[in-house]
Amino acid sequence: MRIPLTALLAGALASVLLAGTAHAATSSSSAPAFKAALAKNPIYKTGKLGYDTCDEQDVQSADVDEVRVYLEGVLDCLDAAWKPVVERAGFTFSKPTLRLITKPGAPTGCGDKFPAAAQAVYCSKNKRITYLVNSAVVQEPNDLMLMAVLAHEYGHHIQRLTGMFGALTPYKRKNIARVLDESRRLELQAECLAGTFIGSVWHSLGRKETDFTYITGSGGSGSVLSLLGIKGEDQAQQTHGSAKNIGAWLKRGYDTESAGGCNTFKAPKSQVS
């Protein structure tokens, strides 16, 4: 069974925890007030991404060398796409680094080891994406999941460059609801930013529309939580949102092709639950 959203969810969860940020929910139906770096960040006013061509390399299996060539090529596209946008928003751009591993447990640079449940993680301290190469991320030849996971982690890099990580509420025992709410908004925004990139370069990829709709959940991928063997109010959904909302924000970024469509910190609770 393919697990497109599972990989996104697991990778995103690990990336937030490894970035040193605890995260949570609000009882209000509307968005609570957030710091300007989160709710009024200049990145939201930069317009469409404006990068329309990314040449994908062929990937037939989870062979590390094949996957490395593919991911390094997509990473170059991500750098080229986001650099002018970050600078247009008034921030200094720097590239993230990429490390491929073949099994969990490797150090990430954020004081913890790569978790068994993740596909990829981003560490804000060293600005490095650590990516697990295994059969889960290449269930079929040229699986779009390779790009989607990398673009999601790159979304966290954009959040790091634009000061969002530093504006999150520090965890305290009494503010877990607030922290979890911010976590979901951060993760769903990274998902939306991934969609922004994919949507921007989509017509250059030569793919079928079903490659994308499968990931959003409209093509029968099933419940993320059930695929993970998770039921009820598990930490994964509390920190990352429901499968429905993950797919919705990914699609929103794809449709708008703009960071302006990804302001999850202005969204009502129903869209970030």
* Per-residue confidence (pLDDT) for residue 217, from 0 to 100: 80
* Per-residue confidence (pLDDT) for residue 196, from 0 to 100: 97
* Per-residue confidence (pLDDT) for residue 234, from 0 to 100: 64
Helix (H) or strand (E) run with residue 97 in it:
strand 97-101
Which residues, at least 6 apart from 221, have a Cβ–Cβ distance to it below 8 Å? 2, 3, 4, 5, 214, 215, 227
* Per-residue confidence (pLDDT) for residue 32, from 0 to 100: 77
Contact 191, 155 (CB under 8 A): yes
In this structure, are strands 97-101 and 120-123 parallel, antiparallel, or unpaired? Answer: unpaired
* Per-residue confidence (pLDDT) for residue 172, from 0 to 100: 87
* 6-34: pLDDT as tens digits: 333 334 434 443 443 333 333 345 677 99
* 84-101: pLDDT as tens digits: 999 999 999 999 999 999
Q: Can you give the length of the chain in residues?
A: 273
Instruction: Report pTM.
Output: 0.86
Query: Is residue 211 over pLDDT 50?
Result: yes
Which tokens is 249 given? 């924000």
* 132-162: pLDDT as tens digits: 998 888 888 999 999 999 999 999 999 999 9
Nearest Cα neighbor of 81 from 57, 55, 56, 49 is 49
Min mean pLDDT across 144-153, 201-210, 214-223 is at 214-223
* 111-135: pLDDT as tens digits: 889 988 788 999 999 999 999 998 8
Q: Where are the domains of the chain?
A: 4-271
Would you give the DSSP letter of residue 27? S
* 230-268: pLDDT as tens digits: 344 466 788 888 888 999 999 999 999 999 999 999 999
Average pLDDT, the chain: 84
